[in-house]
Amino acid sequence: MKSIALAAVGAVLMGISCAAEVAAPSKPEPKPSKVEIAKRADGWHLLKDGQEYFVRGACAWDYMKELKEAGGNSIRTWGAATDPVLYDKAQAQGLTVCAGLWLPHADDRTFNYSDAQQVDAMVQRFKVYVQANKNHPALLMWGIGNEMEIGMAAPDPMWQAIEKVAKMIKEVDPNHPTITVIAGASEPKIKSILKFCPTLDALGVNTYVALAITPSFLKSFGWEKAYLITEFGTPGDWETRKTSWGAALEMNSSVAAQYIIGPYTQSISGQKGWCLGSYVFFWGTLEESPHYNFSGSHTWFEMFLDSREAMNTADAMQLVWTGRCAANRAPEITYWDSTVCLRTVPAGSPHTAVMRARDPDGDMARVRWEIRPEKNAPGQKNPVPVSGCFDKAEGEDVSFKAPAQPGNYRLFVYAYDGKGKVAVANNPFVVGPAAP
């Protein structure tokens, strides 16, 4: 599950204040879809207008055309009102929306779940927003909150508030199910939801490293309703090995793609009849989100570069969604190393780097290198590349100088096919004081 530090900044990235949820809604078409979660002899099913609908989704605000072409059918948001025309954009691509209603987190000192007036006011604001958007044909379900339980010292009033929101939605919009989204499945959370939130139709679970064992957790904790995996992907920067100076080690995109496939098959597509589908994190680039505030490098969770090339992880999702490889696949990194990787080196010292890649389609076009400062804190914008390090920053074998300024850095390498696909890798290093 996510660290408290990561979840604490989520209110900025993923959410909006309760007041902002009533921002001007998009204008819906008159006839909504009828969506329900039904229990049948062979298990739970999500039905959209009477037809089976298994969610092949992504957490996304953009890149919707690419999502549809890859076999995706839905997007998930954390606060849908951050983009008033989001429903229309999804509808234009034939996608549905799991629309988020952002609930305050423990770090929101302006909100107290034990204050009945504040809770009632929040429910009323959500009611206005639900009434305004309930008939949009792109709407699939309502997601009440996201990881709001993290750091909550006394969470019972928060769970009770979720139940109030769920009951309100059932009264206002009987055509769309409700879920709440938690950061990993634990026994106290599941027991509390069973006790305080009986109106919820299903459960959303955000999980990364623990994806493969999440169904067994849910079963052992007594969860019998349907569930969705509402975030998953490569291991988070809070879950991986770290250097002696605390820099997290990131999988290269080729390894990350392979990492996704097995757990997806085991805990999502392999659990049909209980699991209703999933939303991978993150389809697009995080800096194009309404409020960017995440730790990790600019290639850690994203499946696209800001120049819109898709990484190997996007190919992996197309494979698990459709059973077919992409017509044009990303290059695959087979080896790479540098004399700076995972080391402390003097400022301005000379170094070399090498990478080898193969392209399944035989069309790899170029290799590019860059050095960027390490992010110092969640919420920092992506640092820009350091200039003056490379005489020529292209090719499989390069020479370069360490940055002149002491600090923490990452060396990045990108292998492009020239047709919209890329493989990426990076490793951290430290520049110490210049030698006397």
For 16-28, what is each residue's pLDDT tens digit? 334 444 444 555 4
**Top CATH class, 4-232+268-295:** alpha beta
Amino acid 125: pLDDT: 96
Distance CA 55, CA 46 (A): 8
Residue 402 CA neighbour count, 13 Å, CB half: 26
Residue 286 confidence (pLDDT): 80
pLDDT at 328 over 50: yes
Cα R_g (the chain), whole angstroms: 22
pLDDT at 289: 57
Q: Examine the pLDDT at 131 and tell me if it is beyond 70.
A: yes
Question: pLDDT averaged over the chain?
Answer: 90
Across 10-107, the runs of DSSP E, i.e. the strands, are: 35-40, 43-48, 51-52, 55-59, 74-76, 96-101
3-state SS of the chain: helix, strand, coil percent to 5? 25, 25, 45
431 burial level (CB within 10 Å; 0-12, 13-18, 19+): buried
131 in Cβ contact with 138 (< 8 Å): no
- Which residue is it, tokens 């499945």? 185
C-alpha neighbours within 13 Å on the C-beta side of residue 5: 10
The token pair at 407 is 């600090």
Average pLDDT over residues 350-377: 94
Cβ distance 245 to 302 under 8 Å? no
pLDDT value at residue 82: 64
How far is the C-alpha of 168 from the C-alpha of 9, rounded, in Å? Answer: 28
Q: What is the pLDDT of residue 434?
A: 55
Q: What is the number of residues in the chain?
A: 436
In the chain, list all ranges with CATH 3.20.20.80.
4-232+268-295
pLDDT grade for 295, boundaries at 50, 70 and 90: low
> Does pTM surpass 0.85?
yes
Give the pLDDT of residue 9.
33
Domain with CATH 2.60.40.10 in the chain: 332-432
How many Cβ atoms from other residues are within 10 Å of residue 424's Cβ? 28
Amino acid identity of residue 375, one-letter, is: K
The domain made up of 332-432 has a fold known as: Immunoglobulin-like (2.60.40)
Indicate the SS3 state at residue 289: coil
pLDDT of residue 358: 96
Helix (H) or strand (E) holding 205, with range, is strand 202-206
What pLDDT score was predicted for residue 2?
Answer: 46
The residue among 339, 361, 341, 351 whose CA lies nearest residue 423 is 361
